[in-house]
Structure 1
Amino acid sequence: MESISYAPPPAAAVPAGASPLPVGPVPAPYLPGQSSGPTYTTLPLAKQDIRDRRSSVEFALREYMSLQRRRYRTDEVGIEERLRVQAAHVLTDLQTLRNDTSAMVKTAESHRWRRWITGTVVASFIPAIRAIFRRPTGETETSNHTEYAFRKSRSLIARIRDSVHGKGRFAALAFFVFAVLYVFSNEVSLRVARTVSKRLKRLSAKIENGQEDIDEKDMKLLSGWRWRVLLWNH
């Protein structure tokens, strides 16, 4: 029997000077380590602020808590690996948030006026101003006297800045009041930032240990009046 050979059809003619067009879809080049799954875009760090980072930590931490609860199901496959990946994600976000609070601590420390007005003097300022700006019974925007006094002091500082332009006794008195309120609000911000930073550090250590489950009490570290103080000027 004679063998029959088939020749491929002739290629279409290409005009002179034109580059040949590929036939069919051209696959994109594959890069090592590139995932074939869906990609997720995140907000660039340069455009994030402490509000965005706190929201990111809160979302990641709640997902981590959900995975911890699901690992007790015997039919869950690959849950331990997902827990490790999520834990690494939470720890990265927590470290970024701790860096933000540490920067707030340094800023508040640098704003302490010559440091001679701190110490025992500031220790007497805080209870005195809290007593002056006592939270009304019907106040619902603030949770305690410290937060209420902080909000009042910040609003008075802004009013003094806008109203004092001249010289004289009123200006001197207004400047003294401004200094007292400024030191008070700065000291509250400093103490709050230190407290939040320490609590975030303990939460990071708890996740790194991996022996204890995350609960709603840990989630409350990302909310409350201390965060309202930190976010006042952001």
Structure 2
Amino acid sequence: MSDELKNELRRSRHLQRSLDRLQSDLLSLFGIVEQMINKSVRSLYQRDINLADEVIKSDEIVDQREVAIEDDCLNLLALHQPVASDLRWTTTVIKVNSDLERMADLACNIAERAKALTHFPLFPIPDDFETMVSEATTMVSRALDSFVETNTSLAFSVMRSDERVDELNRSLIQELREIMKRDPDSVEPALHCFSAARHLERIADLAENISEDVVFLVEGEIIRHKPEEHGRSTPRPDSGS
């Protein structure tokens, strides 16, 4: 075996190790962010300040890991100069990494609203909020699965779910408006709930973004701002190139 071929094989092994480490780090970050979202919602329902504070404290860990993953991606691009699918995968990681950090920020915002709602223990959270939580957290979980499995069918199902979350958000806003009209004393807690719902809706949007990135990863096609593509449930015949 020539020295040139040996060096090429060595570079390939180093690149694969770097890619594997990046995937492991990103999946770990995904787990932390999912836990933050779930805890923030629980703290809202339970009016649990301690749980809300746990979410807020976790944000520093997410920020540190987000920066570390981005640095690793940039170093990988500079040192290994990946091409084709490896290049697509690395750029996708950079985008997903950023979306996860934003999700964590939104979970912290929900936790802050939960802390504010502890002053209103009798204020009932509308039923649509619970349904919205279920839909949004399922979107986040399925977006992760679509990334891990590079499954575009799953990614498209996440995108289609976003409209349902938007509908629930609109319904919830209308219900909160009616509550505020009937009872002026409910204005402040209703606004806190309104804000939490908006943050949850944004988390669902970011899950949709990640799913769009999965389509780019698999098919090399940018479908952002192309709503007509979101209804597609199967990859194109030439996908995976």
TM range (shorter): 0.3 to 0.5
TM-score (normalised: structure 2)? 0.33
Larger Rg: 1
Q: Higher relative contact order by CA 8 Å / sep ≥ 6: 1 or 2?
A: 1
